Structure formats: C-alpha cells, structure tokens
Amino acid sequence: MSHPHPELGPPPPLPVGGLRIVALGGIGEIGRNMAVFEYDGRLLIVDCGVLFPEPDQPGVDLILPDFDYVRGRLDDIEAVVLTHAHEDHIGAVPYLLRERVDIPLVGSKLTLALIESKLTEHRIQPVKVEVIEGERRRLGPFECEFLAVNHSIPDALAVAIRTPAGIVLHTGDFKMDQLPMDGRLTDLGGFARLGGEGVDLLMSDSTNAEVPGFVTSEREIAPVIDDVFRTAEKRIIVASFASHIHRVQQVLDAAYAHGRKVALVGRSMVRNMGVARDIGYLKVPEGLIVDSREIEEWPPEDVVLVCTGSQGEPMAALSRMANRDHPIRIAEGDTILLASSLVPGNETAVNKVINGLSRWGARVIHKGNARVHVSGHAAAGELLYVLNLTKPSNFMPVHGEWRHLRAHAKLARLTGVPDDNIVIAEDGVVVDMVDGQARIVGAVPCGYVFVDGTSVGDITDVALKDRRILGDEGFISIVVVVDSTSLKLTGGPEITARGSGIDPVALEAVVPLLERALQDAAADGISDTMQIRRVVRRTVGRWVSDTYRRRPMIIPVVVEL
Amino acid sequence: MSHPHPELGPPPPLPVGGLRIVALGGIGEIGRNMAVFEYDGRLLIVDCGVLFPEPDQPGVDLILPDFDYVRGRLDDIEAVVLTHAHEDHIGAVPYLLRERVDIPLVGSKLTLALIESKLTEHRIQPVKVEVIEGERRRLGPFECEFLAVNHSIPDALAVAIRTPAGIVLHTGDFKMDQLPMDGRLTDLGGFARLGGEGVDLLMSDSTNAEVPGFVTSEREIAPVIDDVFRTAEKRIIVASFASHIHRVQQVLDAAYAHGRKVALVGRSMVRNMGVARDIGYLKVPEGLIVDSREIEEWPPEDVVLVCTGSQGEPMAALSRMANRDHPIRIAEGDTILLASSLVPGNETAVNKVINGLSRWGARVIHKGNARVHVSGHAAAGELLYVLNLTKPSNFMPVHGEWRHLRAHAKLARLTGVPDDNIVIAEDGVVVDMVDGQARIVGAVPCGYVFVDGTSVGDITDVALKDRRILGDEGFISIVVVVDSTSLKLTGGPEITARGSGIDPVALEAVVPLLERALQDAAADGISDTMQIRRVVRRTVGRWVSDTYRRRPMIIPVVVEL
C-alpha cells in the first residue's frame, strides 16, 4: 500500500496505451472533488466541486480544485461528467467554465437542471449532455457507461470509463438504501456485470469507511417525523439541506397528512425545490405550499417552515431565529427539527443554535436525540459488497480524508486486493494504469485555490497567515514623521491600535523609547527608510511583548521630511 | 419554570433570614463555575474555574468569572469551597487570590495538592483547609457538610450548605460509577439522609442531562486498553487529560502487565502525576516510569508514552507528532490511543490530529471506534436517582449550557418538583431563598473577563470584534501627508495592506480617486482632521468594496503639514 510521497517529482510521459488519473481535489479531504483522466492526449473530468474552508482559513468563501494542471490543455477536455448535484461535486463548475465556456457537462436530468439554475446566476449558458442510468456514451476515447446509485440527492450516477487501458469504475457518492424513497436502487447488478468483465480500477467513496455496518433507510425517518408532527404544539420549523429533495418530500408528506401549510424559506431552498418540482422530482399537493411572507397569517399550530441553516450558518434564518434577530420569534411550544447531518467542523456553530433555540423555550430535535437523519454514504459493511462484487484488480479510495482512505484501503485488502495494487493518491498525485497495473509515477503541483469575494486565487497562504495573526493579536501601527538626517520626530507619532486590547493612552509610554532608539540609529548613521522602519518595529514590538506578553502585528510607517 | 429575563433589574436587599445565590459563571455555559452564597452579610463561594474560549473569541487564553460582584466585598468572603481539581472549577483561583490572598481554600486532599502546585507557579502560598467526605465544618454562618462523589478525577466532593434559610445541596460534578476504580462511591446514602431532613434547594450537574440512560463504569475500559496493548506492534502513545488519574492508572497497569516502560510527556502530565503519586493516589510499580528523554533508547515494542494533546491542542506533543514536528516520528505500526472525551468545540482540531497520524500509517483508536472513554458526568437516568433521593423543594440546574439546563429542568419536573420551584438562573441572575421558596429577584452585571497574555480584562468585546474583522478581511492603512489648507498630497500616500489579499500595486489605482476626493473636500471647506480621515476611509473603502466585494478594515492616518 502506498504511503505519502512528499518527495514525488514530475511524472514521466504517459506510455502509449496507458491511462493517467490525477485527482485535483477530494483525496485527503472531503470536498472539491475532481478527477482528471487522460488517454491518448485527451482528457475527461469527473466532478468539479468546492471545498468549504476550515477555521484556519479565515475569511475564505470557497476553496476550488487547482485547475493549473489542465489550464494549458483546456481544448483537450472532452467533457466534465457530474455524478450528482452536491456542491462538493458541482460547485467549481462556474469557475472552470470561466476558462472555457463550451466544455460539455454530462449528467442526469436533475443534476443538469440544478447546475443550470446555478450557472444562470453566473450568466453562463452551459453545453449540456443529458444521460440516464444504463446508458453508454462515447466521449472522445472514453467509452462511458452510467449506472444508477442512490445518495442523499436523487438521480446520482456512477460512471464506468472504458479505454483500451481497461475499465475504471468511479462510484461517485453513493449509499445502498434497499428501500429508497424513489425506488431507484444502487445498481449492484451492473457492478457485478462489470466485475465479471473485469474492473481494472475501482475508485470508491470513502466517507463512511470507518463506520461499521450499514446505513439505515431514508424511509425509517418517516415515523420519527410523523411523531414530531403529532406532538408539536405550535410552529414546526424544519432545517435541512437545500438539496435534500427526499428529506423535504418527507416533510411535505407529513405536513399534508397533519393539515399544516408549508413555507419554504431561503433562496437556495426555494430555488432547488422549484427546479425539483418543475421536473417532477418533488411532488407537491395543490395548495400545500404558501408564500413565506404569508405564513405569519396562519395560526402557529397550522404551519411548517422549511429552511436551511442546519449547519449553524450565522446568516441563515435559523441562526437569526436563535438570536431573536428574525421576524419569526421562537417561543415556548415551538418545535425545531434539524433533519440533517452535522457536517464535521460545524459542531460549535450548531451547538450555539441549539442553545439559542432552547433558551427561548423551543423543543429542539436533532440527530443527537432522535433518528432524524441517515447518512448519504455507504458504511463499511456496504463498501465490502461493492469491493466483492466488482473484484477490482486495482483500488483507489477517493472522497475522504486520510483516516477514511486508510480505513477503505484496509477493507480492500481484507477482500483480497493485493497491497501493491492499492493506491492512496493524494490530490496532485499522478497514477498511471499501464498493463493492468495502477502505479504512482509522480505528482503535479496542486494547491488550494481560495475564493474571497469576487476574486479567485488572490488570497495566498501569506495573506491567511497574516489574517491568523491579526485575528489573534490585532495590530499596532505607528506613523513617525522624522527629519531625514537627524531622525528627530517632527510630528508626534500617530499610533493606531486595533484588536490588540492595548489602551492607546498606555501606548504613549513607548514614545520616549522610540525617540531614544531613533537617536541611537541616527548616531549609528542609519538613514535608509527600511532600516528606520525596522528600528521602529523592534522598539515597539519589544515594549509590547515585555509589558503585555502579546505579539500584535507591528506596522511602522516612516514619513521623512 | 423561569425564562430568560433580559429585563431583570438590580436585586432588592436580601431579606433577613434569606439566602442569596448568584452564579458568576457556569450557568449557560460549561466552564468558569463559580457560585456565591450570601447569608447575613457573609459570603461563601463554591468553585472558581475558568472557561476556554470559542472560535469567536480569538486570541483569548482563558475566560474568568466576573469578580465584580464580590470585588467590593472581598473581606466578607468566608472561604472558597473547591469541589474538585478540574480547571473549570479551580482555574480562576489564582486570579481571585490576587485580589485577596488569604481567602481560605476548602477542599479534599488531592484537590488542595493540585491547586497548591498550580499556585506555586503563580508564586502564591494559599491558606488551605483540608476536609474529607462525611465531615462537617462551619464556615462563618455556613454549616458545610461534605459528601463523596465520584467523577473523572479522584477525591471530588458535593457540599451541603446549612443556614437558617434551609439546606442547599450542591452536587459539584459527579457521576455514579457503581464499581469505581478507587471504591469511592457517590454517597447516595448521604443524599437520601439529606432528602429525609429536607433539601430546600438542589443545585445539580447538568452536563449530561440530555443523554439518556447510564454511564458505563471506568472499569469497562480496562479490557479495551488490554486489547490495544495485546495487538500493538510498535510504540503505544496514549493521550489523555493530565488530571485523569484513574485513566492513567489503567494505562500504567496495562503497561506493567505487558512489560512496557512508560514515559510521561508534557509539563502538566508530569506535574499532576507527581502530585498524585506523592500523596498516594497513583500507584506506580518500581522502575515502570522512565524519563521521557531516555525513551528513544528502548525498542518501540517496549514503550508507552503518556501525553496530553487529546483535544488537538496545536502546541501539544501529539499534534506536533501528527505534523512530523516532534522528535518522536510516527511510523507504520505505531498505535495511538486517544483515551479521553472529545470536548465540544475541539472536533476539527482532533480530526486534524487523527488524519495526520493516519497519514503516517499509525493506527488511531479513539472514542469513535472503541470504548476508550466514559463520561465523568451522570446521565439522565442517574440524575433522576439524585432528584428522587433528595426530593428537593426547589431545583436549580447548574453546570450546563441552555440545552442541558432545559433538559435537567424537565427531569426535575418529571420527578415532581413544581414548575414554580424550578429556577433557571443564568450567570449573574440573583436567586433569593426566603421562606423555603427560591425566586429570581434581579440580576447583577456578569460579563466575560478575558485573559490574554499577562493582562486580565484588557480585551473587550470591541477588541474581539476588531479581531474578527481583521482575521476575516485583514486591513489597509493609508497614510496621507497633506497641506493643511489645500489638502493637496505632499507625500504620495503610504499604503500598507495585510491579510486583505489585495496586491499593493493594484491599490495604487485608488490614489487619483483619493486626490480628487480630497480636492472636493477642500472645496467644501473641510479642514478638520477627523473629517479628512473620514473622506479617506470612505474613498478607499468604497473602491475596495466595488472592485473586490471585500471589506477589510480601513485605517486612515492624516499627517497635516
């Protein structure tokens, strides 16, 4: 089994008849999934998603896959296959299409409908290639076969990619609900057929590889939701993901059964459910949904609000309700249902929302106290089925952090994949499949690309480091106006301190030290602005550190007259 | 049941014969526990702990209870009772003793030994009053009886406080392990006896009030640890809390049984285990522990390292090992055991450590994949026992966030405490017990007091807000040197941008706009420095927002000549 190779060099040329696979995101992290396949000079991309930032990436809106690897070869791209419409699989498409707008997007009906409504906001009209499960389609040298998988969004697909180098099966995200809401099962028969033919490389979803056993059916949430509706005294507010069409369908069904009206709250919820309803993926009884602006006219016991904000996003309606900063004023007797997962990293924010809602007397039901969520990703027991049915010659765990990749690799080994044929290829690692053997042959640069505001890539690691220092310690800026030869202060220094917690008045104690330091510098013949700046920074920094044991950023500005 | 009362005013004078209770921390949060009892002009304090900061309190080291309420009455304090030696119960003692050094500290042997070794670092010699379970001691008008409770640190105590106003039972932190490692059971017999006498007010630990059922015995971890030792191929590294003496004892026992040497790593681990060993709470077989500097001399399969860092603290040894920034280089075959809880808020940091360790090939065992931790706090099923045995007339849930307090209040209601006698009193809320009835009568100011470096209280909410803006967006400072009447720039503006992700060269595009804005200002007769500053801030801020959709902090400095 391969280990991290920080020492990997650039890859050699791809041998004739070989298939090259490079993940530009999604391996070593959960998010920004993007895999690039190359055969005979042509490229096929599977997924193009975003990653959400961590606390040590402050102020960042989104993180994109690093497109550098394909940037010089945009015309070689045959298509982007989108396995399903979650943000971590489609979120970076607008940014890729900015570089070449006519790259065909291949996906199922719902996936294309959702990406299209997203692209409209970016004023992009995409080239769409709609496919359905069971279909085969040639995309340049890549013969693609699409297979149904079930997941926490409808209409997800796995893709088998045939080239003369062999068959690669990429599962996309999947689970194996045996009683799915829409009856659309993960196509294990298809997986078995491919296994019979010979899967040369399996790339499979590792998210839940550490979780033993099997994932409960989405259907089993229904009685829990029903119980919530039966016992709710006043308003019911359900928070879920804006893409979880089956979950929202269950809430609509319960509302209908219990005679409550439903209002959808939040732009993405309204947009996605509109799309899903228009193309027949969401069934809405006539008159069930009312405009959210009208909902206050109904008695509390007759309404349900369906909103986003289940991850504690501070600007979402739910957080604002918890803070009494929203027209809906939570009160004793209200019931809040967080019908979603708790995405790692959001625990603190969600806890804050639960406490806020509890404070006002609401009953809060969440996955910690009721079965109101099931995962969208197959657990270890189910991953074994896929490994055993496809019997891959080579295995590459994808869609996971290191802990998940290691756990999935271990499952593969237990089902008989030889150690040498298990490839843990982090983002940027180049894997060549030649003569039926997948091997790491090198690596290409593959950094994080940060989106902040309208700009892509302006935020660098240096800027993030500065933000971390500023966020922890604040800064002190000192503007000194000096005579350029004597270095005597001709204007009292202008000191500004923000976020440092140091009283500006107390800071004046540094002025005499500064004058003395500048005099000493003048005596030493220092006249270069850079050097004077360094004297100021060092004098102030040392005084602050000695006095307060803190290290705010010190910004000296020297104006010479 | 009481609700949050943001409108509460200052409390009236305490009626003669009444008991006043004010929590200065610990209610509405988990941390900085401190309750002040007042009878007949005298004060008794139970616990004096710290709270650890959340991500929206950047750069803060610790949060203290707000001592303002007792600051003018330090001489009225009879004593501080310390229920046990966890940081959230004793961490603020050094800061309180800075205000009056001779306040007697009352606690059990281990509690006093650990606080004393902590105070030595602060160069404080405390006045100690050692008590044992079953003992009664008069502290001014407060007749205190101490009862054994078990918890995740040995020698914890509950305290019953008798005054003519009635009996208050404060549980401290407790669980109800029926087979505790040291045989020291929570004194339910004592609780029942007090219940028979008549508990007028129960103040009880709410941490696990939402968790149904019962907490497993610490003893049940032993076979899991044994299994880890039996199957470990190379080094074993155990991370735990530096105060969890029973857990470390279990690791020492396993090491001894499996013939491995133990090294303790980290200042607090070495210090606390030294104290515990000296007073007989930790049993260490001769020759078992070796110096951590010698541990590399032993073969990996013969050693165990016991360290802190189980919460992902970035400077702890474990995080540094995960980042390959530590002399111990993690390798395939090493086993890491996170034998601790995952404190809410630390999920992301711990996940990063697990991924880092997994990346290098270590096997990581944690509470998510094995029973290597049991909680230190009684769960709902056990809290019911305490409520039923003590049969309190009044109930006040403590030690919890709102979600926990509400859940505990609900349990109290189910056991028959009348709604009107259940008091949810947030920090600063004043509760008077008069004629056997506990009632909220007002509130006193009770803010967060932040420790940053050597200073206490310098960091305000304004500074934190600045830090959040700076951390998310960075800043741009512009120093303009202008002629004081024409407002013409006499020196090109000095622009500094840090953390904004904006190229300083690009920023020069703002100079002509700035010149024009200053000319307009001069034409309007503006000459006041404040107003000029505002013109600069607005011009630059608007340009940045229009160009980049970002809002860095803009710091204008005007030097007039």
Confidence of residue A233 (pLDDT cuts 50, 70, 90): very high
Position B1 scores a pLDDT of 38
Of A453, A475, A492, the last residue of a domain is A453
Q: What's the CA gap between A444 and B545, in Å, rounded? A: 35
Q: What DSSP character marks residue B416? A: T
- Model pLDDT, residue B184: 96
Considering the domain architecture, whether residues A239 and A285 belong to the same structural domain is answered as yes
Overall residue count recorded for chain A in this entry: 561
Q: What is the mean pLDDT of chain B?
A: 94
Contacts of residue B366 in chain A, CB cutoff 8 Å? Answer: none
B361 and B487 within one domain: no
* Residue written as token pair 């692209």: A119
- Average pLDDT, integer, range B77-89: 98
pLDDT at position A491 over 80: no
Examine the pLDDT at A401 and tell me if it is beyond 80. yes
Q: Name residue A240's amino acid.
A: S
Q: Tell whether B58 is covered by a domain.
A: yes
Q: Which two tokens stand for residue B231?
A: 């199957």
Domain boundary among A342, A365, A388: A365
The total of other beta-carbon atoms located within 10 Å of residue B215's CB is 18
Work out the mean pLDDT of chain A and round it to a whole number. 94
Residue ending a domain, among B330, B365, B400, is: B365
| Of B453, B454, B471, Cβ closest to residue A467 | B471
| Confidence band of A455 (pLDDT split at 50, 70, 90) | confident
| Residue from the list B3, B360, B479 with its beta carbon closest to the beta carbon of A557 | B479
Same domain, B244 and B317: yes
User: Are A343 and A487 within one domain?
Assistant: no
The answer to whether residue B516 is domain-embedded is yes
| Alpha-carbon gap: A21 to the closest alpha carbon of chain B (Å) | 21
Q: Chain A closest CA to B466's CA: distance in Å? A: 5
Within 381-440 of A, beta carbons closer than 8 Å to B belong to 401-403, 405-406
Distance from the Cα of A403 to chain B's closest Cα (Å) equals 5
Q: Closest approach of chain A CAs to the CA of B405, in angstroms?
A: 9
B66 plus B166 within the same structural domain: yes
B403: chain A residues, CB-CB within 8 Å: 351, 354-355, 358, 364
Q: What's residue B2's pLDDT? A: 41
Q: Does B368 touch chain A (CB under 8 A)?
A: yes
State whether residue B364 sits within 8 Å of chain A by CB. Answer: yes
Does B491 share its domain with B431?
A: no
Residues B348 and B382 in one domain: no
Per-residue pLDDT tens digits for A504-513? 888 999 999 9
Examine the pLDDT at A555 and tell me if it is beyond 90: yes
> Of the candidates B459, B466, B550, which has its C-beta nearest A498's C-beta?
B466
A332 is written with which tokens?
A: 């004793």
Q: pTM here?
A: 0.91
Question: Best residue in B208, B467, B503 to probe A by mutation, most A CBs within 10 Å?
Answer: B467
| More confidently predicted of A93 and A504 | A93
Please state which of the ranges A391-400, B66-75, B365-374 shows the lowest mean pLDDT: B365-374
- Residues A274, A114 contacting (CB under 8 angstroms): no
Which among B365, B424, B468, B475 is the top mutation candidate for probing chain A, defined by the most A β-carbons within 10 Å of its own β-carbon? B475
Number of domains in chain B: 3
Query: Are residues A390 and A422 located together in one domain of the fold?
Result: yes
Residues A78, A162, single domain; the answer is: yes
Q: Which is more confidently placed, B431 or A505?
A: B431
* Beta-bridge partner residues of B529: none
Quote the domain boundaries for residue B182: 19-214+375-453
Binding-face residues of A in 482-541 toward B, CB within 8 A: 491, 494, 496, 498-503
| CB-based contact, B324 to chain A, within 8 Å | no
Alpha-carbon distances, residue B161 vs A385, B47, B409 (angstroms)? 62, 14, 22
Distance CA(A128)–CA(A80), nearest Å, equals 10
- CB contact (8 A) between residue A549 and residue B345: no
Whether A54 and B348 lie within 8 Å, measured CB to CB: yes
pLDDT in tens, B227-281: 999 999 999 999 999 999 999 999 999 999 999 999 999 899 999 999 999 999 9
pLDDT class of B5 with cuts at 50, 70, 90: low
B504: in domain:
yes
Cα separation, A262 vs A290, whole angstroms: 6
Cβ separation of B468 and A471 shorter than 8 Å? yes
Q: Any residues with CB less than 8 A from the CB of A208 and at least 6 apart, and which?
A: A215, A375, A377, A378, A379, A380, A383, A404
Question: DSSP assignment of A22-35, as one string?
Answer: EEEESBSBSS--EE
Quick check: A4 pLDDT over 70?
no
Can you give the CATH number for the domain in which A556 is found?
3.10.20.580
Is residue A12 a part of any domain in this protein? no
Contacts of A322 (CB under 8 A, 6+ apart): A330, A352, A353, A354, A355, A356, A357, A359, A360
CA nearest to B76, candidates B132, B37, B123, B21 = B37
List of chain B residues whose C-beta atoms are within 8 Å of the C-beta of residue A322: none
How far, in whole angstroms, is CA A93 from its chain's centroid?
Answer: 13
pLDDT per position as a tens digit, A143-178:
999 999 999 999 999 999 999 999 999 999 999 999
SS (H, E, C) A250-281: HHHHHHHHCCCEEEEECHHHHHHHHHHHHCCC
Residue A381 has pLDDT above 80, yes or no: yes
Q: What is the pLDDT of residues A268-326, one digit of tens each?
A: 999 999 999 999 999 999 999 999 888 888 999 999 999 999 999 988 999 999 999 99
Q: Are residues A63 and A184 in the same domain?
A: yes
| pLDDT score recorded for residue A318 | 95
| Residue listed under structure tokens 């004892």 | B249
Instruction: Name the phi and psi angles at A463, rounded to 5.
Output: -60, -40
Give the pLDDT confidence score for residue A5 in this predicted structure.
56
Q: Output the domain CATH number for residue A306.
A: 3.40.50.10710
As for the ipTM of the complex, it is: 0.89
Interface check for A559 against chain B (CB to CB < 8 A): the answer is: yes
A-chain CB neighbours of B555 within 8 Å are 477, 496, 498
> What residues of chain A lie within 8 A of the CB of B361, using their CB?
3, 406
Whether residue B355 lies within 8 A of chain A, CB to CB, comes out as: yes
Could you read off the pLDDT of B184-239 as tens digits, one per residue?
Answer: 999 999 999 999 999 999 999 999 999 999 999 999 999 999 999 999 999 999 99
Q: How would residue A1 be classed by pLDDT, with cut points 50, 70 and 90?
A: very low
Express as a percent the part of chain B with pLDDT over 90: 87
What band does B492 get if pLDDT is binned at 50, 70 and 90? confident
